[in-house]
Chain A
Amino acid sequence: MLLQTPVYNLKQFPNVYTPSEDSFLLLDTLEADMNNIIQINPDFIVEIGSGSGVIITALAAFLKNTRCFATDINPEACIATTTTSILNNTCVEACNMTFLTCFKENVFDIIVFNPPYVVTDSEEVFGNGVARAWAGGIDGCEVINQFLKSLPNLMSSKGICYLLLIKENNPQKIINILYGMKFNVNIVKQRKIPCEHLYVLKIYK
């Protein structure tokens, strides 16, 4: 096991998403693809919507010679991420923002995003509290579609983005959109769990 699941304690953070099957699938994906990640020699890594911070902390613990960043729209999640990184003796710089809107363009070599993907009413996407961690609106794609629009300006030329989806998001449709944007895309992992069929896309220039 290359990537250890970090220790975390979310007792103080009731409005932060507890790591679940989707989080662990992303960790498994990153572990399975680690040789490719090491090969591009990443300098800057970021997780969008880092929540508890377990994924970016696992990467920071394993990839010592990188700078790891995290963003979350929920300020409580930013504190949870920082707390988890400190608990595991790693350094993750959390920033309270939407996607990567306030970072310089094309700086990140690795982007990891476990978006709010659950099919809900549109209103829930903009609600408060922990619902924002999973409420994805129509087809669960409202936040994902906004993210895809910004993707061309986020990654470095050697960058890789790992994006988690569920079947209801229509992964093939999203892959076609990405092809239209001249990205390369593979489904690198999928897993069926009760009630959800999860996918991880690997997207690169």
Chain B
Amino acid sequence: MLTSKCMKGVNIGYPLKIKAVDLKESEVDFNPDFISRIIPKLDWTVLISAANSIGKNENLPENLLPEYEKNTEFLKRVHHVLLEIDVVNGELICPESGRKFPINNGIPNMILNEDEV
């Protein structure tokens, strides 16, 4: 969802790299319809590389499964990766400029300095 494209000199700024220092896993009610609705809105490759970068791949396939909306087991794993894992402390890194955005207490600091906009 986040990009650094608003920065001066950055063209795409997506996907941001994730460096996780602390992760938190929590339980969120599973709703298969909601997850099925969200999947087409995701860039699947980006999700997989994000999940890999924090070591939480949960055996998600490189390519999206056909008829995934009927596969409850698969939807549950997507649900877990998408909604139940939080980066509590770490940083997001702009793929072009290398600018780091710190994450503290689960809140990314995406405030840019005047000379960066």
> Could you tell me which A residues sit within 8 Å of B by CB distance?
41, 43-44, 64-67, 69, 73, 75, 78-79, 82, 91, 93-98, 101-104, 107
Number of residues from B at the complex interface, CB < 8 A:
24
Q: Once the chains are docked, how many angstroms separate the CA of A79 from the CA of B104?
A: 10
Which of A41, A91, A96 is in CB contact (< 8 Å) with B108? A96
Q: Once the chains are docked, how many angstroms separate the CA of A103 from the CA of B15?
A: 11
> Does B109 contact A103, Cβ atoms closer than 8 Å?
no
- Our count of residue pairs bridging A and B at CB distance below 8 angstroms stands at 61
Q: Which 5 A-B pairs have the closest CB atoms?
A: A97-B110, A102-B110, A65-B34, A101-B6, A96-B109
Name 13 extra pairs, CB < 8 A, besides A65-B34, A102-B4: A41-B37, A69-B1, A73-B111, A75-B109, A82-B107, A91-B28, A95-B110, A96-B107, A96-B108, A98-B111, A102-B2, A102-B3, A104-B2
> Does A75 contact B107, Cβ atoms closer than 8 Å?
yes
- Chain A: minimal CB distance from B13 (Å): 8
> Does A101 contact B110, Cβ atoms closer than 8 Å?
yes
Which of A64, A79, A107 is in CB contact (< 8 Å) with B105? A79
Name the residue of chain A whose CB is nearest to the CB of B108: A95
> Does B6 contact A102, Cβ atoms closer than 8 Å?
yes
Tell me if B29 counts as interface (CB < 8 A to partner A).
Answer: yes
Residues of B within 8 A of A91 (CB): 28, 83
- 27 A–B contacts, CB within 8 A, in A order: A43-B34, A43-B37, A64-B31, A65-B31, A66-B34, A67-B83, A69-B1, A75-B107, A78-B107, A79-B105, A82-B105, A82-B107, A91-B83, A93-B106, A94-B106, A95-B107, A95-B110, A96-B107, A96-B110, A96-B111, A97-B108, A101-B110, A102-B2, A102-B3, A102-B101, A104-B1, A107-B41
Tell me if B112 counts as interface (CB < 8 A to partner A).
Answer: yes
Residues of B within 8 A of A98 (CB): 111-112
